[in-house]
Each structure stands twice: as C-alpha cells, then as structure tokens.
Structure 1
C-alpha cells in the first residue's frame, strides 16, 4: 500500500501512529491528528507542491551542514561522527580539533574518504557525500567543541560534543542501603504565625529544621518556578512563565536586608497594612491578588532604599548582584524584561495575560521595540532582577539549613513538564516551541476524557538544532540549592502527547524525543550538582522505558493506590523497586481522607468530570472493592490494630487508619518514602483536581494548621518516630 507524503513526514518527525492506552488496548491515531501536529510543526499540508519544496529545502540544509549541531555520548563510548562534504573535498586532508570544557585541546588529521561512505546526494550546490569518521581523541565528562578544520586551519564547521556519565547521582547513604522518609508540601500552602498569607522561604527553613528533628531526611516541594507578578491569578505551579527562575512570591520580605529602614517599618506597622496581613493569614485559600499586591508594595519601598544605598556604588552587595545578573545571562534578562513589560501594559489598561496579546512589535524578546522598552525602563527591569537575586539567596539559605542538619537529601525540587502559552520562556525563544499545540495526556484512569494542559511543547528538531542548550539550562538551574529533583511527567524525555489547537485531548498523538541524549545530559548535570533524580512515571508508560530510566539511575515513582496486581490486590510496599520513591498520594489525587470517603468522586460529579452516571457508578464500585483490598492488606501485615473492623462498610477514616497506612508504607523496600503533609493533618480537600481550571480553586487551598502547631503535636511526633523506626528496620531487613 502506498504511503502518503504526509504519513512519511509524520514518521520522519517522530509522530506516533499507534500506541497502547492505559488499559492495555492498542489505539490508532487519526490522520487528522497527525496532520494537525505537522501543521503545528510548521508544515503547510494544503499545498503539496509547496510542501515538497519545503522538504527539499530542509534536506538541502542538512547536506550543507558538514556536522550535526550536537552529539551526546556516554563515557568510554566510541565517538563516531557523520561528516557531509562536497565530493571535491572528500579526498582532502582535514583536521578534527577537540576543545574541551576543561581548556585542553587535541587534534586528529584524517582524510574523509578513508571513512565509511553511508550516503550521497545531488542538490543544487552539487554532489555531496556522507562518511562515518572515527574520532580518536580522548575526552572527559563535559560539554566540548569538536571543530572541523581545513589543512590551513580555517574552520569549516563545528559541533557540540557532550560526554555524559552512565547514570545519575546517588547519595552515599542511599548507596549504602539506607531507607529514608520525608514530607512533600505545596510551599504556598504553609501557614505560620509570621508569613504574609502564603508559605515562604523562611517557612521552608523552619519546616526543614523541625522535620529533620523528627527524622525526616527531605522536604519535597511543588515547582517553585517563576509565574506572573502582573497576573497573580495565573497561579498554577505547573504552568509557569519560566522554569529556570523562581517565583518571587515565596520571598520573606521581612528577611531582606534593609527591611528595618524606618520608612518601611512605618508602612509595615500601619493599621491598614496589619489589617491586610491579618486577613491574608486567616483565609483558607491563598489570596494571590492580595498577597502579590502587598509584597510588591513592600518590595518597591525596600528596593528604592536598597538601590540608593547599595546598588549605586562599589559595595559588596552591588558586586554580588552583578555577578548574579551576569551568570543569569539572556534568560534572566528576558524574564525581568517580560515582567516589567507585562506590568507596564497592565498599568496602561491593555491586555497583558501573555505575549500573544501584546502589541505586535513587542511579541518577541529580540525585537527592536523591546530593546527600546528595556533601555527606557532599565530601573524597573533591575527591580525584577533584584527579586530573582533575593529569591535565589533565600532558597540557598534553606538549602544550607538542610545541610547543617545533615539531612540526606534536604530540599527536593520539582521540574514542571512545560511553560504556559503566554510565558516569558516562549517569548524569548519562539522558534523552539510549537505554539499551535499543547502537551497533555490520552484518556487514562486519572482523566477518562484525556487531559490538555495548555503547555506548548518544544519541537524536538529545534531542540537538536539549539544543541540541547534549553534542556541543559533547565536541568542545571533546577538542581541548584537542593539534593533531589523530581521530573514531572518524566515520559517527556521519551515522548509527549501533543494536542493540536482546536482538538479535544483525545485527538492527539505522541511525538518522540531523543531520550538517550536527554538522559545523558540529565545524568551529567545530576552528577555535577550531586542531585538525585526522581522521575514521575505514572500514566501511560511503556514498560521498556521504565527499565531505561532505571539503568540511567532515575528513581521511579510508586504510588500505593496504583500498585495493584491483576487480581485486584495491592502489592506490599516490600515488593517495590529499591530504586524508587514510594508515596500514598500526590498533588493530583485526593487526600487519604478524601479517597477513603470518596470525596473526590463526589466533587468530580459536581464539576461534571465524568462522561456518564454509569461510569461514575463504576468508579464508586471499584473504589469500594479497592478499599476492601487495602483493608485486607493492612490487617494482613499487622499495620492497623486488631480491634479495627475488617469490612470496609464498617470502617471510616480515623487517625489509626491514617497512621496505619503511612506506617505500612514505611516498611517498604523503596529507598525513599514521601508523605503528604496534608495527610499528617487528616485533611479532606484536594489541592488540585485534574481536568479543571476555574471550576475548582486549584493550587490555592492552605493547610488547616500552622507549622508551629504541627510540630508541637504529640500524635504526629509519635507518627514520625514510628516512620523512622520502620525505615531503619526495612534497611536492616535487606
């Protein structure tokens, strides 16, 4: 059967035609979905002649580039490059020069035609041949430049050569077989007696200090990526503006040098400000508008004095600030300029939610009008640079607390799978993103209708052409000031579910990425920063990729409620892989109380998340059966008291059942155990309901108690002791 040009192109660009869904059924991708994805990649499928010309130009461009932009190899792996040259040059002697990251240089003379001929073609510029050439130059780990020189040393081409380790970093304690536990929190949810209505970096310091005293070895955070100061209602940590930088809202303003200035203290102690603070602390959901407005007022005052006192002269503070700005490079300048521009448009009363609604002359960072704006608004941009500097320092202070307490991991950060459509990250690098598509998921157990997350995907070909620098920057920046990094939807390293604009979440397809290259870069950055990597591998996951991740030292993510055998029983945590992090619930799931009392199903019905009453009833029936199996498991392992009922219809959620579930997990074989602070507090409401946006106040629900009261609770101190004891017993039992 003849394969159409578009089907050939879809295969060439890594668009999947078939896949296995979450229920193990083979699924075929509709032609319309593949066509729409190709259009999002920049192909005009309505004009076949034009399409053929475009493909010919792309092919010609490849032949005109003697070397690929980048190559990733593992340590001790043989380096063989593909070299494309005009036929009249293939018998000339040439030089390969390797300039290493460490500053060393070495050379190799060769004749291209001595290599293995693998391809040849004729294009407008003449005859070309492609050879495989062995590179016989020794390399250490790192990012190097391989240059192709003519015999007279003129440079013909160059490529980035990345030499990566075999696997990601593991802390010594984990390698020795220790088993640890920690708490996962949404940082904004934290209540304390001193914060301004949202958790902040000082709260994180307090949490690390107190949790470590109870035996915890880490605190897991939601993504703390930069959001939108001028649009505070866009509060999802998984839809950021930039994943390289931090959300200024987590600043503890009172901890910034200069907060004790008399003018700032007068403002802070005024009845009006204290009244606003009292309100922001008391409400059960984070008031992002109110918190952002109050913090920006304070920060504007503070920055005015700080700038005048420190940033106008040769001070220690000014030198440190300049070093931070220089190290941040274009990425940091892009974000600061974007924040200032968005704020400017807001003050003018113009649409400002993101670059797609900016005036045309301002829709990309490199445009002349943007440079003009930046020059005219230099001080305001400096203000936003200052906020990033202060945030980085406060996060590092929290990391230092963990180190001082000798926590095995300390902070573990979370890397979101993408940025939102109106983000600074896309504004600064439009070519990298397919903005006519978004990332999501096909129908699965968590989302029967599929999911569309509204996050434009990176184009794999553009990522390759940019020498993988965007992902290098992402991994490196998110491994700062922490001991572990959780990669949300780690399957993105292999494939992403693209949903073209205008299609439903079901009408998408998987697009493949260079997984071996990306895992190599991840391993290199992990080893350099000494950060353990956890991959959130839930949903529709091919089994072979789990093995690939494991081989690369990435820790699996095992959720108790998803670890079911074919007969419906729940696997004992003692059967989980050692190279994994176990947990009971996640931010996308109900709390333990919510799960046990089916509050999530009740809420889903209210929010119209289920296609039919029949499907909802099936979910209720399945939940009842699962709860019975869980109760059987807990009794079978002695994880709950004998007096507790053995039939689920007689057993409601209680402190004993709640603690029993957590202690049951602590006996498991996973190296890491993460428990939600919400479940320590026996909370009912979820922090996020997948598949909703404005229907539910996602990412806003606070904890029901202050941290001070959490760590003064004798019951929770007892739970912590039990967790530590069982983790030690699990390690000794192996």
Structure 2
C-alpha cells in the first residue's frame, strides 16, 4: 500500500475505528494526516493496518464484531427516550430479555418487548447468527440498570445507563449571574501552610471570599494525586490518577489524631514543619518536594497513633466504599515507594494481575493501609472545606477541575491499562498560541475498551471527584468528543483525531453530576466546532468564554451582550499570563524567549498591541475607561466588561486581584519555565499570603467592581 496518499480501504478502516484523518485547523485550512500517521494511530488502537492484507482482515473483523456479542457491552440513553437493543443468538434460537433496575432507585424487574425488525442472519465464525431486536421502555428512571438475555445460545448481561436529557441549573443560577474566585491552591499560602497552600487554606479562602466579597464559588486547580514520593510532577494537569486526591494538600494539624499525640510525637511533627513553614513567604518557585517530604514524615507519626473505635470504623467504611480502585491506587503507591518509578520496575510488577503483584500486596499490606488512610484524611478535609464554604454563604462552593488525562507512568496508567491506549499520547494540533502543536504525554482512553468496561472507570472517577463539589470544570471538554492522538515517536503536528461516543460520555457526566447536585462547566476553547458547544448547551453543560478569545470576524472584541448565557465568563485563563502581564505583552516576550514562535516576533508583538488597543478602545466606547488609565483601572474595566455579559458564572483570577504579572503555565514547555510553581504575589513579586489577601486594596477594589 503506498504511503503517500490515503488508500481507500485504509480510510474505511480508519472510519470504522473513529479515526479522523482530516480536520480544519485554527487557520481555517483543511489539514490531512499522512497514511503513515493513520497506520500508527490505528496501531495504538490495537489494529494492525501495516499491509493491504492486514487492512482487509481488520475490516472483516470490525464488521463482524457486533454479531459476536449477545448484547452490546453497554447501552446509554437519555431519560424519556426508547432505544432498540440488538440481541444476537444462533439463528432460530429463542431468547428471553428483561431489565433489572438500579437498586439506588428501588430496584425491581421490567420486561422488555421484542419488536418486529427484520435483519438477515449473518455467517460469523462458522455459525449462522440471527439478530432479535428489543425495545427498552421510554419511562425508565435515571440510573445504572442491567439488561439480561437468557436462552439456549444466550447468557449475557450488560449495563443500561439512563442519563438526564438535560442537567438543570440550580435555582440560584436561574435568577441571575453569580461570580467567584479562581485560584491555584498550591500558590495561596497562609502563615501556617507547610510551603504549599492546603485544604485548610482552601476552606478559609472560600469562607472569607464568601463573607468579605460575596463570592459564590471557588474554582481550584485539579487536586488529583501526584507521585507518592519525591520528585513530584509540578503540573496538576499531569497527575498519576484523576480519581484520588494529592495528600500534599492535607493540613497535618487538622487530622484529629494529631491532637492526641504524645509530647515526643508532637515534637516530631513540629520539627518536620519548621523548615517548610519558612517557605510560605519565599517568593521563589513553590517547592512541592520539600513540603511533601516534611508532611509525609509528620503524617507517618500521626498514622501510628491509635484511632478510636468509631474513627477506625469510619476509615474501614471509606475503604470499603472506594473499593478496588482505592486498593489498587494504594498498592501502586506502596510499590513506587519500595521500587521507585515504574520505568524501573520488572515486567511482572508492571502487570497488576501478576503473581508478583499479589505477593507484593501481602508483603506491603501495612503500607497499603497507610496510603489508603491518607486518602481518607484528605477526603475528610475536602468534605469540611465544601461544608464550610457553603455554610459561609457560597451558592456553589468549591468548583473542582478535572484534568484531561494522567501521567504515562502513573497509577491509572498501571491499574487501568486495559482501557488506556499506550501507543499514543494526547495533545493538540497547532494553534495561534502554540504554533508547533502540543504533546501532553498522557495515554488516552481507548474508546472500544472503555465501552467494553461499560464506562465504569470513567464513572468511578467522576463519582470520587464529585463527592465534595458544588461544580466541576472539565478541562478540554472536547476530549469527550474527540482527542488529538500523537503516536509515540511522532511530533505533535503529526497526529490525528480519534472520536469518542460523546452521547455516552456527556450523558454519564450529566448523570453523576445530577446525583451529586453539581454544575458542570466544559472548557470549550480552541479548535471546537460550533455544534459541540451547542450540544453541550442542550445537555445543560456550561461553556467557557475568555475575553481575549471572544472576538468578531474582524478582530474586534465581541460585545458583552453577545456572549453566551450558559457559560463561565472570565478575563483570562491559567494558560495565559495574568491580565497585567498580558497587557504588557509578556506572553509574547516569554514565547519568543523560549523559542515557541513560528512567526516573526515583531509580527506577533504588533498583533498583540493591536489586540490590546482594540480592547481599550471598546472599553472607552462603553464608558468603562478614561483616557489615561492606570493598570489597575484597565484590569477592573475588563472585569466590568465581563460582568456585563449574560453569562451565569463570572470568574476572577486571584492573580488578577493582586496584580500578579507572571504566568502560572506556559503551554508547550516542560522545564524551560517554572510551570505551576509560581506563588501568589503582587506586581512587584512580593508574596501575598492568605491573611493579607482580604486587606489588599487592589483585591478589594476588584471584588467591589464585581459586586456592583
């Protein structure tokens, strides 16, 4: 097969596996992947397309696959709709089909009626297979039900997931907009933090924002777990798991058993804290490694103190509730602690089902308990934080952030290896801000494998993140529709999109959010087709509007009244410098210095200056800005512009509130820039502690502007 053009059969095979070889880029032009790239993406999906013969074989396999199954692996439908379910048996055999309802909605059995749909039988693997069609009733309650099929050649069951047609907004958001604070938690430190903002700081920040500023939500960076031992990956968007919490955020003093330590053990905790408490006022990069080494030592001491009978029972109940997922995560932590990074493990340890891992689980049982205990402690402190901020007056409370994926050598990549693709990583094609494309190094969900697992790993992750959340932000929500797969060894430019069953993924997200009583926001920035945003809006998923990206076709700022209502509207995002830095074109200077521009810097700088001037002119036309404004006045005017939109959620970055100029993250870089390590500071680089935040004149002035 020639490798210069897409062969017709290769194109058909790609379509069968939802690989999209062509896409329209940010530049408005159509881009087409080479067939070598398509072959590699198919390879990452477990499909051998290396020769014409292999392509023909793969096509035959994928066409027959549904007929080899008695039932589909999972059925996902919207409440109020009826769906036909194909049931495959030996041609002529009888089959009985029924539903068992979710115990959480009362359980029970429902009969399923066969409908008259004529489908010719098919010869598959030497057997003539017939298809019977059964219609699910249209009045099923929300939940995770099960369809069962029994007969001479049928003995099967599959989940039936009934999802909300639409996720409704809470009453407070139906009446008008609310505003909230956006913070990188690790950067917001108090005088009692251990060098990193923690869950106690989260509770205090949210309570004070509610009381002093009348804010209604607090959006924080992903709190997903990092490595169990140093060095820790700084990026909260490259976690080892998305299901469990980073124990780095635990406040040691708030663990109940800490109060009952002996004088000697208390001294050990205080000695561990002493060197890292001094880091709270350090303007340099946040030192997660030092903070976690100190906390881990202190938490070991607290863990060793006996728990009361009731406390032990609460811990046991948490472990049982979290089930196999927590056990596997805690075991992975214990293995990393003993054997180091996964890259150095023996082949048998890389297999979670191996005898070696089973033996290690017995040998490391005490450490598995320790890492499970850390999750229980973190869960308790998260629960308290959400309760405190809601009692403080926030309409939503804490808004958690869900990362796109996980570290390729992390706990999820190990435990969920059957539903993740290992031959490719997630990234993004070139765009105006990252003209070389991006490779985020994260293994993507394998679409077919995830469906065969009935989306349970996805559901379990959502349930844990939503346990103590008033809202959840889905980073790169386009990933529920398609992801840019970069085959191992390819540049970020040389990838292709792979489509996912968005009805299933969005539906399950809506179901779990409905059960948790949470609002869902999708970060739909970048190369997103308009229909995607429309679809999310129809399902009650809010979008994201960032002022600098909201432009008319001629480059002028989009008028506030033209913004979407169902959106979180902000001036900036964590992938841009704070507004003061953006106005000073620091995003251009930084990308030029790091070699990230493919266009001459003079041109990019001229475009940035023109963009700024168009925005300032628009602000003046609206009467929001005078002719010789200060930096603070411009920042506040920009936020008043956003506040004038119909968006139901309005977000203000804490970095903007204090005048910070440095970016938290520069996409397209790893160690070239101190990504995710910048402490909260003002425009002079002076650290702003939590105790001083609410007496900061600039922050109070911006809060007043949002409350007008």
Instruction: State the TM-score, normalized to the length of structure 1.
Output: 0.91
Q: Could you tell me which of 587, 591, 608 is aligned with 1:623? A: 608
2:205 is equivalent to residue 204 of structure 1: no
Alpha-carbon distance between aligned partners in 1 of 2:7 and 2:116, rounded to the nearest angstrom: 34
Contact 1:170 1:530 in 2 (8 A): no
* Secondary structure of 2:121's aligned partner: strand
Contact 2:45 2:446 in 1 (8 A): yes
Contact 2:95 2:149 in 1 (8 A): no
CA drift at 1:56: 4.6
- In structure 2, the residue matched to 1:731 is none
CA drift at 1:53: 4.8
- In structure 2, the residue matched to 1:257 is 256
CA drift at 1:404: 0.7
- In structure 1, the residue matched to 2:628 is 644
Aligned pair in 2 of structure 1 residues 3, 87: CA closer, same or farther (>3 Å)?
farther
Q: Could you tell me which of 28, 34, 41 is aligned with 2:38? A: 34
CA drift at 1:47: 5.3
Alpha-carbon distance between aligned partners in 1 of 2:386 and 2:120, rounded to the nearest angstrom: 53
2:160 is equivalent to residue 156 of structure 1: no
Alpha-carbon distance between aligned partners in 2 of 1:442 and 1:493, rounded to the nearest angstrom: 17
Q: Deviations over 1:21-43 (max 9, x none)?
A: 11221222221111110111112
- In structure 2, the residue matched to 1:291 is 291
* Secondary structure of 1:245's aligned partner: coil
* Secondary structure of 2:155's aligned partner: strand
CA drift at 1:7: 2.3
* Secondary structure of 1:211's aligned partner: helix
Contact 1:169 1:523 in 2 (8 A): no
Aligned pair in 2 of structure 1 residues 510, 229: CA closer, same or farther (>3 Å)?
same
Alpha-carbon distance between aligned partners in 2 of 1:24 and 1:643, rounded to the nearest angstrom: 36
Q: Could you tell me which of 68, 86, 90 is aligned with 1:86? A: 90
Q: How does 1:407-418 map to 2 (within 5 A)?
A: 407-418=394-405
Alpha-carbon distance between aligned partners in 2 of 1:420 and 1:180, rounded to the nearest angstrom: 35
CA drift at 1:283: 4.5
- In structure 1, the residue matched to 2:148 is 147
Q: Deviations over 1:598-656 (max 9, x none)?
A: 112111122111135x2x2221011111111111011111212x3526xxxxxxx6222
CA drift at 1:50: 5.3
Q: How does 1:258-277 map to 2 (within 5 A)?
A: 258-260=257-259, 261=261, 262-270=263-271, 273-277=273-277
Q: Which runs of 5+ in 2 are unaligned?
A: 682-687
Q: Deviations over 1:127-173 (max 9, x none)?
A: 1122332234842111101111239xx96221211111111241111
Contact 2:319 2:372 in 1 (8 A): yes
Contact 1:169 1:526 in 2 (8 A): no
- In structure 2, the residue matched to 1:189 is 187
- In structure 1, the residue matched to 2:702 is 719
CA drift at 1:568: 1.7
2:662 is equivalent to residue 685 of structure 1: yes
Contact 1:182 1:673 in 2 (8 A): yes
Alpha-carbon distance between aligned partners in 2 of 1:150 and 1:130, rounded to the nearest angstrom: 13
Q: Could you tell me which of 94, 104, 107 is aligned with 1:104? A: 107
Alpha-carbon distance between aligned partners in 2 of 1:26 and 1:660, rounded to the nearest angstrom: 38
Q: How does 1:290-689 map to 2 (within 5 A)?
A: 290-305=290-305, 309-310=306-307, 315-346=309-340, 352=341, 354=342, 356-612=343-599, 614=600, 616-640=601-625, 642-644=626-628, 654-689=631-666
Aligned pair in 2 of structure 1 residues 53, 204: CA closer, same or farther (>3 Å)?
same
Alpha-carbon distance between aligned partners in 2 of 1:108 and 1:3, rounded to the nearest angstrom: 47
- In structure 1, the residue matched to 2:169 is 170
- In structure 2, the residue matched to 1:126 is 127
Contact 2:206 2:218 in 1 (8 A): yes
Contact 2:273 2:295 in 1 (8 A): no
Alpha-carbon distance between aligned partners in 2 of 1:669 and 1:547, rounded to the nearest angstrom: 17
CA drift at 1:572: 2.2
Contact 1:183 1:216 in 2 (8 A): yes
* Secondary structure of 1:561's aligned partner: helix
Q: Deviations over 1:231-262 (max 9, x none)?
A: 43312111111101100000001111122312
CA drift at 1:118: 3.0
Contact 1:97 1:148 in 2 (8 A): no
* Secondary structure of 1:439's aligned partner: strand
Alpha-carbon distance between aligned partners in 1 of 2:525 and 2:581, rounded to the nearest angstrom: 20
* Secondary structure of 2:256's aligned partner: coil
Q: Deviations over 1:24-73 (max 9, x none)?
A: 21222221111110111112333554565565555555323111011111
Alpha-carbon distance between aligned partners in 2 of 1:119 and 1:434, rounded to the nearest angstrom: 35
Alpha-carbon distance between aligned partners in 2 of 1:230 and 1:48, rounded to the nearest angstrom: 48
Alpha-carbon distance between aligned partners in 2 of 1:638 and 1:16, rounded to the nearest angstrom: 47
- In structure 2, the residue matched to 1:217 is 216
Q: Deviations over 1:659-686 (max 9, x none)?
A: 2222222222111110110011111110
Contact 2:485 2:498 in 1 (8 A): yes
Instruction: State the TM-score, normalized to the length of structure 2.
Output: 0.94
CA drift at 1:2: 10
- In structure 2, the residue matched to 1:732 is none
- In structure 1, the residue matched to 2:228 is 229
2:13 is equivalent to residue 18 of structure 1: no
Contact 2:389 2:397 in 1 (8 A): yes
Contact 1:588 1:689 in 2 (8 A): yes
Contact 2:91 2:131 in 1 (8 A): no
